[in-house]
Amino acid sequence: MGSTVSTEIATTTEDLARAGVATKVPLLEVRDLKVRFTQNGRTVRAVDGVNYSLQSGKTLAIIGESGSGKTVSSRAIMGLLPGTARISGSAKFEGVELLGMSDKELRTRRGPDFAMVFQDPARSLNPTMRIGIQITEAIRSHFDVSKAEAKKQAINLLQMVRLPSAETRFSEYPHQLSGGMRQRVMIAIALSCHPKLLIADEATTALDVTTQAQIMELLEDLQAELNMALILISHDMGLAASFTDEVVVMYAGRVVEQAPTRTLFSNVRMPYTKVLLDAIPRLENKSHTLLPVVQGRPPDLTALPPGCSFSPRCPYVQEDCRETEPPLVEHEPDHIWACFHPVNEGSPVTEGSLAK
Amino acid sequence: MTLTSEPSTSEPSTLSMQTGTPLLEARHLVQEFVVRDRGGVKGGVVHAVSDVSFEVRAGETLGVVGETGSGKSTVARSVLAAPKPKSGEVLFKGTDLVKLKRRDLLELRREMQMVYQDPYGSLDPKWQVADIIEEPLVAYKRGNSTERKRRVGEVMDLVGLDPSVFSSRKPRQLSGGQCQRVAIARALTLSPELIVCDEAVSSLDVLIQAQVLNLFEHLRQELQLSYLFIAHDLALVKQVSDRVAVMYLGQFAEVGPSEKIYLQPFHPYTAALLGSIPSPDPNAAKVSTRGTISGEPPSPINPPSGCRFRTRCPRAQDRCATEAPVLRELEPDHAVACHFPLAGESTPVTITTNGAPSA
């Protein structure tokens, strides 16, 4: 396997083997994933080389601002992008290539293999259908069960996602439910075919913080129970730090830093990740604290600057950053970043410091 | 200060002992909306804000934090009498807005401006930035054209928008952060003393959000502004505010200095909020709602009897269902509406393991 892997990528199967994790075929292995769109004759580099592998039962966070490519990369894997998208690279689910798979085949895999929960539960549910029908429909399209059996399963699911008074709610419409309840219903639908992988795309962003915490705890429990893998797409660093095993940080379509969650948050190296972390209002901050900020905006994906895409905004920028694009290299064990002048230089692990 | 005090309400004056007349004072604010069922039949009353009293002192930022449906946005609008509250008083520098005639109300509103959540939605898409910012001056007939143009240039500089670049742009040519700067500039043109921010940074990406938060901070210092800062994010609210009020289902659960709210929350709901915020610090305590909050928020159409948080509260007892707790000061400037507050308990509390008591 791994025939499409280009040589400059750090996390090849060999690297993983050295780390002792490749003895098991990963549930999902994404290699050099690229997505291009054409907009007014110009090429949009929406996703530019994403790599990760995910084992069953584990959680991966993909972190980034709007337009960083975190959603597009996940939709590409699930085959949910419009036909105009040009996708290259490889995404193997249990060793089977997903990219280029026919719509028909993908449809049979969405549900039992992988499912997705989106940000806006109000817009993802059909407002004219009772929620019960929307769940049983999902069940009956994948399993050959009677209506009564599907209803039984649906109510079980609603109970599993801890929807209060599930049996009554079964025959209610989406507008009769609160935002948190609707998101629970979405999760119930996503779980109806017992997916091996759940992709949660900003699934808790629109929810209140106590509800978010409840939903995340629920997902954790379900994950342990079903040995499900989870990809958490979010802009929330706190959420990533609290609920995941590995973090991928994206900026302007590229991965800029990637590491196991604890490693990353205790030893941030890429300046962008640091800037992002510093900009979060913290409970520990005193009143009227000024946040360290960077000016500017993410670059136009049709006209990326030469060199590092973050260089126009980077507080640590040097001359070489503007000329050459820093490669994404595994500088420390399991810790990958794309930067010539990483921060936290005095940190305990100093092997492989500056360029290369 | 004498108040028309009812037995079940607190004396807002007890929270204002150390300063003179506050810039803004809300007393016993009540706002309710009638929901209609099919055919216009009255379907129920949303108790959006139920007897809320607070004050914003000159130069102070009061944060109001609450979740969806807590009534925090209704508080913001009631304060500007847009629409007027159902009952209660809103005193701006001692003048009651609720009793004012329309003309006087408009004049007074000049001194209190609002910045909304949706930066695109609050700007007219067909107008140029300079015209949007000038509009309040035109509406209030301030200065001649030259003076107005100069003022527009001044406020654009204040919010960090280069007038030579942005004056002739339209909202769709701006990013979310730039739109929000335009909205802030427009709010500043009439030199208000109070700015009401309703989720003013919530829809922005974190780096842009930090820029706008810092802008609010700079403006506060430069122009001696006071803010009523309303948002759902407690960490954010705490950082910008001198004092924080925690709202739950139309009422204030707790009000106190932001540092104290964080270090020593009295209300179980505040504690639940604090425990739900995930921290990016790898050594921070893990998010947990177990034992702090359960279930879903009740409907404001039919709020629970007694304490409105009791149906989700792990500390709820029989008394909570029958007697609504009054907002009372446990420590100077730090008040809570709870029969069994978390810290500084004067009476020993037995915690019921089984959540909701009978109503």
Contact A289 B239 (CB under 8 A): yes
Where is pLDDT greater, at B358 or A91?
A91
What is the structure's pLDDT at A96? 93
A50 has a pLDDT exceeding 80? yes
A17 has a pLDDT exceeding 50? no
**A135, A151 Cβ separation under 8 angstroms:** no
Per-residue tokens: B166? 């942005």
Contact B213 A281 (CB under 8 A): yes
Summarize pLDDT for A20-48 with one digit per residue, the tens.
444 578 999 999 999 999 988 899 999 99
How close does chain B come to A245, measured CA to CA in Å? Answer: 12
ipTM value = 0.80
What residues contact residue B33 under an 8 Å CB cut-off, 6+ apart?
Answer: B45, B46, B48
Q: Which residue of A has its CA nearest to B274?
A: A283
What is the structure's pLDDT at B1? 38
Q: Pick out chain B residues at pLDDT < 70.
A: 1-20, 344-359
**B268, B246 Cβ separation under 8 angstroms:** no
Q: How large is the average pLDDT for residues A340-344?
A: 91
Please give the interface size between A and B, counted as residue pairs whose CB atoms are below 8 Å apart: 141
In chain A, pLDDT over 70 holds for what percent of residues? 90
Q: What Rg, from alpha-carbon coordinates, does chain A have?
A: 21
Q: Which residue of A has its CA nearest to B232?
A: A208
Handedness of CA B303, B309, B311, B312 (dihedral sign): positive
Half-sphere exposure of A238 (CA within 13 A, CB side): 24
Closest CB to A237: pick one of B177, B209, B280.
Answer: B280
Q: How far apart are CA A60 and CA B174, in angstroms?
A: 33
Q: How far apart are CA A63 and CA A221, in angstroms?
A: 22
Contact B68 A282 (CB under 8 A): no
Secondary structure (3-state) at B269 = helix
Mean pLDDT, rounded, of chain A: 86
Per-residue tokens: A36? 């291009």
Contact A290 B214 (CB under 8 A): yes
Which of chain A's residues have a Cβ under 8 Å away from the Cβ of B277? Answer: 209, 238, 283
Q: What's the pLDDT band for A56 if we cut at 50, 70, 90? A: very high
In chain A, pLDDT over 90 holds for what percent of residues? 57
**B246, B235 Cβ separation under 8 angstroms:** no
**B305, B359 Cβ separation under 8 angstroms:** yes
What is the structure's pLDDT at A346? 53
Contact B280 A285 (CB under 8 A): no
Helix (H) or strand (E) holding B44: strand B42-56
Does B177 contact A at CB distance below 8 Å?
yes
Secondary structure (3-state) at B26 = strand
What is the structure's pLDDT at A353? 31
Q: Phi first, then psi: what are they for B174, rounded to 5°?
A: -115, 155
What pTM does this model have? 0.84
Does B155 contact A at CB distance below 8 Å?
no
Residue of B237, B281, B288, B301 to mutate, testing the A interface (most A Cβ within 10 Å of its Cβ): B281
Contact A216 B220 (CB under 8 A): no
Q: What single-letter amino acid sits at B357?
A: P
What is the structure's pLDDT at B358? 34
Beta bridge partners of A230: A59, A198
Summarize pLDDT for A300-326 with one digit per residue, the tens.
888 888 999 999 999 999 999 999 999
Q: How far apart are CA B211 and CA B175, in angstroms?
A: 13
What is the structure's pLDDT at B253? 97
What is the structure's pLDDT at A214? 86
| CA distances in angstroms from B89 to B10, B24, B84, listed in the order given | 14, 10, 10
Chain B residues 65-104 within an 8 A CB cutoff of chain A: 67-68
Q: Which residue of A has its CA nearest to B291?
A: A214
Q: Which residue of A has its CA nearest to B241?
A: A287
Which of chain B's residues have a Cβ under 8 Å away from the Cβ of A281? Answer: 210, 213, 233, 235-236, 238-240
Beta bridge partners of A47: A35
Which of chain A's residues have a Cβ under 8 Å away from the Cβ of B222? Answer: none
Q: How far apart are CA B202 and CA B214, in angstroms?
A: 14
